[in-house]
Amino acid sequence: MVIWAFGWGGSGGGGSDEGKGSGGGGPASTITPGPSSSGPVNSERPGGRDESDNGGSGSGGSGGSGGGSDDGGDGGKDTGGGSGSGGAGGAGGTGGSSGGAGGSSGGGIGTGTGRGLPAGSSLPDCRSGDAELTVRSVKDSKVKNTWAPGEKPTFEIVVKNTKSSSCKVDFGRTAASLTITDAENTHVWASGDCPEGSASALIEVAGSGQAKRTVEWDRKRSAEHCATPSGSASAKPGTYLVEVKVDGLGTAKVSFVLEKD
């Protein structure tokens, strides 16, 4: 019996597989902690301050052998490259709105209202039948046909658009004129005798709207080409006729009186 027990305990025959490794050749190796990291633990959060321009990498500890605990990973402090630079910002849009086309309503005969237009404007011209031309002798926008000595007669030229769509009128010195004659139809003064305004002065007349020009006369007589008029330099008391012409709109007239002293 003693001999049999000794022989069974020393046998290398197949026993249970408990405690064997995955290879099945014997017990698994003892699980031990891995070696500690060779460098200090990184206490900073990722993406921290860039401490060096050169990207030196910290040495991390090796993991434990076999199934040991992974105490050695991510060991050394990374003093290498810092955070990446942000993307280049896009260029801002090109701003700057251009102002609306259109010049001043000044220039040409007299001064007045209406939006100035550039040469070559595509707006149709104001024409008789679609627009009306009138002239008045006024003071402070009220009709005044009699002027006392020392007062300067003022004339208001009006182009009224009878259509619903806009048109343009040219108040330039080559397209519009104002002439004053006396009771004998003798030339007294004209806007074209010694012109100062622009050769062309295009003005928009809005649909169902109007454009105005105002001319003030200083009672001085004039002659063509800025020549010195014959006779007296100033107009005498009496009745006078104002005649306005505008290309495409015909002629408008009004009379007024210069009173005696």
Residues of the chain with pLDDT > 70: what percent? 59
- Does the pTM surpass 0.75? The reply is no
Q: pLDDT tens for residues 71-99? A: 434 444 444 444 444 444 333 333 333 33
φ/ψ bin of 107: left (φ > 0), alpha (ψ from -120 to 50), beta (otherwise)? left
Alpha helices in 168-250 (DSSP H): none
* pLDDT at res. 111: 92
As a whole number, the mean pLDDT across the chain is 73
Q: pLDDT tens for residues 189-221? A: 999 999 877 889 999 999 999 999 999 999 999
Pairing verdict, β 250-258 and 146-147? parallel
Statement: residue 36 has pLDDT above 60: no
Q: pLDDT tens for residues 126-170? A: 999 999 999 999 999 999 999 999 999 999 999 999 999 999 999
SS3 60: coil
Domains and CATH numbers, the chain: 111-258 (2.60.40.2360)
Q: What is the dihedral of CA 74, 77, 80, 81, to 10 degrees?
A: 70
* pLDDT at res. 106: 55
* pLDDT at res. 50: 39
